[in-house]
Amino acid sequence: MASSSRAAVASAAGAALLGGAAFVSAPTTRTGNLRATASVATPSAPVSGLEASSVAGLAVAGVAVAGCFGRRAITTSAKHQLVALTAFENELGVQAPVGFWDPAGFTADGSTENFARRRQTELKHGRISMLATMGYITPEITGKLPGYLSPSAGLKFADVPNGLAAISKVPAAGWGQILAYMAFCEVSQDQSAGTPAAAGDFGFKVLTASDPEAKKTKLAAELANGRLAMMAIIGMFFQDGLTGSAWGDWANYTASPLRAFENELGVQAPVGFWDPAGFTADGSTENFARRRQTELKHGRISMLATMGYITPEITGKLPGYLSPSAGLKFADVPNGLAAISKVPAAGWGQILAYMAFCEVSQDQSAGTPAAAGDFGFKVLTASDPEAKKTKLAAELANGRLAMMAIIGMFFQDGLTGSAWGDWANYTASPLRAFENELGVQAPVGFWDPAGFAADGSTENFARRRQTELKHGRISMLATMGYITPEITGKLPGYLSPSAGLKFADVPNGLAAISKVPAAGWGQILAYMAFCEVSQDQSAGTPAAAGDFGFKVLTASDPEAKKTKLAAELANGRLAMMAIIGMFFQDGLTGSAWGDWANYTASPLRAREC
């Protein structure tokens, strides 16, 4: 057992240090998803209880993420024979960029049963870790639930601390409920090998799906999220145990060298002072000031470079000649990295001379205004110290964004040969199927960051577009329903004569929900049902494309109809954002527009007279 443990440790250490380059793949003849292409000279040992418990512990720590190298060569001590394993490289959970990664060699025996058992365990541990992580985060953001956790014990939710300290507060009945739920999850499904539950499918189709490919995609995403959550919850436990607080208490770190810089220029919400590389660990104010000065310069250069990429794409090139002597027009200089080879030597001389002027025209030694970024150009800075600090902080933030942007542009340009990439190169993209569809509008073009259209299905695209059109129409009506009464007032007369309810009695916004009588809700639902069933909305019909025959919104002319529907889609998208904002404002303040009287500390108060 000792020698086996030493071998496992040595194997893990070697894999961590040497990576994939430490292994040699032997030529193999593969058949399907090969489980083992040759037999190892030493017999396979059965899976011991110690091994099983080790796997469970490592999974909780986020370490036993099964995923080895695709083809590993194993040298046996008996015959010094190379054996290649390609057993699990296409299994669920093997994800880019690491691929199949198993530095501890848990899958070296090629056993599909052991692999499936460990994968099932990893999936469960990931789900528990995701719940635990959210259990840490949610109370910090939303606060505790109202009311009592245990009325009999007089224990309120607000009395239960966040994190590890909660363990001592939960009553015995609470632990019983938790254990009962865990037992229910374990015994309510048949989880034996080969069943859907063994692969993580408990029939809850929000997490999985009926379609095998969709289910596989969702489970793979869940595995990845679970791995992240296992790492996160261990970090939270460590932080909590170390500091006594779920998030650590910054007040405890009184001796930290970071204290020296937490109020310096460039320390901005929500991150605060952030130095993961530890550049300020020495506490040197001189080094900090020098780095901050350098960051400000790099940000300014990056902002100029970013604008140099963007401006010619929007406004075009300057007229005339860049170099009359060389016969070089501005229009002849390409945008992006390709311009480097076109700018004449005199042009580079001018660029370098300007850079040198910026450097030597001001005294930038420590403590001078220029060292803090103030070159006397009061459009960027200001005479007032507070206004100058605000402007320089904004400039630092913009410069940081520009540094990220220009690196992205360089990468895109170097990869595709075009400053913005050349869409013509992406001929095999599934997005090609939809780039000319209704709703694809400038300046964004076809935009699908969630990848809903990645399968290239025109049916799914049409169904989602139809749904978007409906949601947009409902949101436009809802938005106008919020706005109109605020501007024009309520209708005269009664909403419900039988109930004696006047229109004027119905409040604006969410509060109206409790005032509308049952007959009113019936009318609303009946109208919605009429809109749904009065037209054939199956694929390919005019109604499926949003044309219900009401020619004020659409038109008989195909081009005019397309223009009107495109405008309606854009307005509907805006309305969906607007109505959500109104709901949030209403729910937060109790008023459809918020109550200006509540905002006593607003800087706008200074200008209201």
Binding residues: 412
| Cross-strand pairs, 328 | 323
- List the binding residues for chlorophyll a: 412
Cα–Cα distances in angstroms (integers) from residue 314 to residues 306, 309, 317, 413, in the given order:
13, 10, 9, 17
The DSSP H or E segment spanning 302 is helix 285-315
What amino acid is encoded at 573 in this protein? R
The structure tokens listed for 471 are 């949601």
The DSSP H or E segment spanning 85 is strand 82-85
- Whether 472 contacts 576, CB under 8 Å: yes
Half-sphere exposure of 472 (CA within 13 A, CB side): 18
- How far apart are alpha carbons 400 and 302 in whole angstroms? 8
CB environment 24-53: b (16+ within 10 A), e (fewer): eeeebeeeeebebbeebeeeeeebeeeeee
- How far apart are alpha carbons 87 and 392 in whole angstroms? 58
491 — alpha (psi -120 to 50), left (phi > 0) or beta?
Answer: beta
CB environment 80-96: b (16+ within 10 A), e (fewer): eebbbbbbbbebbbbbe
The DSSP H or E segment spanning 285 is helix 285-315
